[in-house]
Structure 1
Amino acid sequence: MTIDQLIDDVIAREGGYTDHPADRGGPTRWGITQAVARAHGFAGDMRVFPRDEAAAIYRRVYWQKPRFAVIAKRAPALAAELFDTGVNMGPAVGVRFLQRALNALNRNARDFPDMKVDGAIGPVTLAALDAFLALRGACGEAVLLKAVEAQQGERYIALAERRPANEAFLYGWLANRIG
């Protein structure tokens, strides 16, 4: 799947304009909050925020900047999940999920060293991913994807537990963001 397809899928899932009273993000269009749109130069009403500007933000902020394209060359399904997680929770959160999973799956550092869970894809994270995939192959990507999604699901439930207003979104998060 290409980044263009991933962006189209996110935009289709996020839909058009919303301003749900329980959503701390406030006015949102195409899944881009008003704050993010403003940070990238859009000053208008979010009801008319252009789709192409949303797509450009997704590509730049949620794909290129966190280096998910580099992950996609190694593990495309994992990169797609990290992109979607990044859109919903912030790119660094998805990367931390990946780093935690790799640390937990390295058999007590026998397969590759533990890494600092810093939310950034750098040479250490890439080396660990390469070592894991070399050892575990195609099945390894599927297991790593499950480990990332498990952490994502736990985070959604914790968000709903900490802030009851988030229960309005929990079903959709679990139905549309995991698996």
Structure 2
Amino acid sequence: MIDDLIDAVIDREGGYTNHPADRGGATHWGITEAVARANGYAGDMRHFEREAAVAIYRRIYWLRPRFGDIAERAPLIAAELFDTGVNMGPAVATGFLQRALNALNRGARDYSDVLLDGRIGPQTLTALDGFLATRGATGETVLLKAIEALQGERYLSFAERRPANEAFLYGWLANRIG
């Protein structure tokens, strides 16, 4: 599953870019220069290799945040968390999941609230299991909609707070949600 998700992100992000309105600066394969440097790359971003990007996506955006544990229960949710994590950071993506789980637990009648800590741990996994058990086949789809709604609101907020981000809003909404 993760190999297909990484390929899709790389296809969507494309090769080298250095858009003047992008605070992330130079990127290649969707990996910012800061992330590449933090992971040991010292060269020119124009020459950053795809294989290095794949390794970073797997380690930083899938394994470390434990999205594979989500994939065992809800593959659509895991795919969304991975993509959102690449764009906004894994802790933000996990926070969206946690907020949605808390809002959908009917006043903690279905399962206990989750601490909003941006980390996948036993508490979040137990809540996800409780949600899926309670809501059945449509539960994953509804939870996905809630996560995407939070993501969309954040994109709009980015564009409202920093007009330069309007250059990216259409693409974010078209390519990152739904």
State the Cα deviation string for residues 97-155 of structure 1 (Å, max 9, x = none).
00000000000000011111110001000000000001112200000000000000000
Q: Are residue 38 (structure 1) and residue 37 (structure 2) matched?
A: yes
Q: Are residue 88 (structure 1) and residue 87 (structure 2) matched?
A: yes
Match of 2:165 in 1: 166
Aligned CA RMSD, in angstroms, stands at: 0.4
CA distance in 1, matches of 2:156, 2:24: 18
Q: Which amino acid aligns with 2:4?
A: Q
Q: Are residue 69 (structure 1) and residue 68 (structure 2) matched?
A: yes
State the Cα deviation string for residues 76-111 of structure 1 (Å, max 9, x = none).
010000000000000000100000000000000000
CA distance in 2, matches of 1:63, 1:115: 21
Q: Are residue 118 (structure 1) and residue 117 (structure 2) matched?
A: yes
Match of 1:129 in 2: 128
Q: Which amino acid aligns with 1:163?
A: R
Match of 1:103 in 2: 102
Note the residue ranges of structure 1 that are not aligned, 5 or more in a row.
Answer: none
- Deviating above 6 A after TM superposition, structure 1's stretches of 4 or more consecutive aligned residues are none
Give the fraction of aligned pairs with identical amino acids, expressed as a percent: 75
Note the residue ranges of structure 2 that are not aligned, 5 or more in a row.
Answer: none
Q: Are residue 51 (structure 1) and residue 50 (structure 2) matched?
A: yes
Match of 1:149 in 2: 148
Q: Which amino acid aligns with 2:167?
A: A
CA distance in 2, matches of 1:83, 1:122: 16
Match of 2:23 in 1: 24
Query: Secondary structure of the equivalent of 1:17?
Result: coil
CA distance in 1, matches of 2:110, 2:137: 17
State the Cα deviation string for residues 35-68 of structure 1 (Å, max 9, x = none).
0000111100000100000000000000000000
CA distance in 2, matches of 1:4, 1:38: 23
Per the normalisation by structure 1, the TM-score is: 0.99
CA distance in 1, matches of 2:89, 2:105: 25
Aligned-pair CA distance for 1:9:
0.1
* Pairs aligned (count): 178
Q: Which amino acid aligns with 1:148?
A: I
CA distance in 1, matches of 2:6, 2:97: 21
Per the normalisation by structure 2, the TM-score is: 0.99
CA distance in 2, matches of 1:115, 1:78: 17
